Structure formats: structure tokens, C-alpha cells
Amino acid sequence: MKRFVIFMLVLAFIPGLCLWADPVEGFWISVDEKTGKATAGWEIYLTGDRLFGRILSVAGHPQDVKATNCKDSYKDFPLAGKVNEMTVVGTPWIFNLTRNNNGVWGGGNIIDPDEGKIYGCRITFHPRDGKKYMVDTLEMRGILAGPLGRSQYWKKSTREEASSLR
């Protein structure tokens, strides 16, 4: 009987684990911090214990544009091949972030496919609070060195919204 009770408790607990995704995972719209306009739709996803992000659509550009301003390769880039021959849409420009004890993701990189520059990357999730954050928001911090860098604030979206920017 004791084994049966333990089995039932474990069985009841497993579905909760499947629903417990990190809040940074999902679909997001990047927003230019100067103009306030949407720039791209993103999918942020986990592979193992590493966080990645790929562009699903870009605003104001053809969806098949290549990242010609990028270098041939970057250290630890997750795809094989020449980066400057890859399309902007579908390529993981955010890669190899790990989560710290405070729920902040960092230690990986983000590449700006327009300029070809690579930065350290830190992602912080800010839940909607009705005050400072009217919607769930990702703070995307591109890091040059130490405290130097800049942040953008991305808005939560659906797959359809993230895929439909033109």
C-alpha cells in the first residue's frame, strides 16, 4: 500500500513539472529603444540547460535577407556554416545563456545581424505589474565590457504576432 501511495503522489506531481516552463521561453517582439517601434519577432527557447533565441520575422526588411554584415564565424556559434551567408530569419542570434540562482540568464552572447557585432547577453524577465511593466517584458542587455552596454525591453507576444512582422 505504501508503494501505491508514493506512486500516486509521483504521478500527480509529474504533470506540474511539464507545465513549469521558464517565463523567458516563448515569443517576443523586440522594440527599438529610441523609436518604440517593433523591430523583430523572436522565439526564445531552451536546449538542455542553455537558452537560445531565433528571429521569426523582421520589420521593414525582406524575410529572406542574409546577414552579410556578419563575420564568417563566431566563437561558440551554435550552427555550422558561414554566418554571413545565413538568413536573418531562422538563425539563433542569441546563444548559450545559462540561468543563475536569481533567474537571470547570462554568460552567452547575442549577435546584431545588421551590424555583425557580438555582445555578451543578459536576459531578465519582468512580470506584468500594472505599473512599470504593463505586459510581461524581457530586459535584453547587450554587454560590451563590465557594466558597459545597453538594454532593450521586449514585449510578450504570440507565435502569430512574432511571425508576422513585415
pLDDT 10s digits, 69-82: 999 999 999 999 99
pLDDT 10s digits, 20-79: 789 999 999 999 988 999 999 999 999 999 999 999 999 999 999 999 999 999 999 999
Quote the pTM value. 0.87
Write down the domain spans for the chain.
23-163
* CA proximity to 26, closest of 166, 134, 125: 125
The whole-angstrom separation of Cα 41 and Cα 159 is 9
Task: Provide the residue count of the chain.
Answer: 166
Task: Express as a percent the part of the chain with pLDDT over 70.
Answer: 88
Q: Which amino acid is at 59?
A: A
pLDDT score for 52: 98
**Which CATH architecture describes the domain 23-163?**
Beta Barrel (2.40)
pLDDT score for 2: 55
* CA proximity to 75, closest of 121, 108, 42: 108
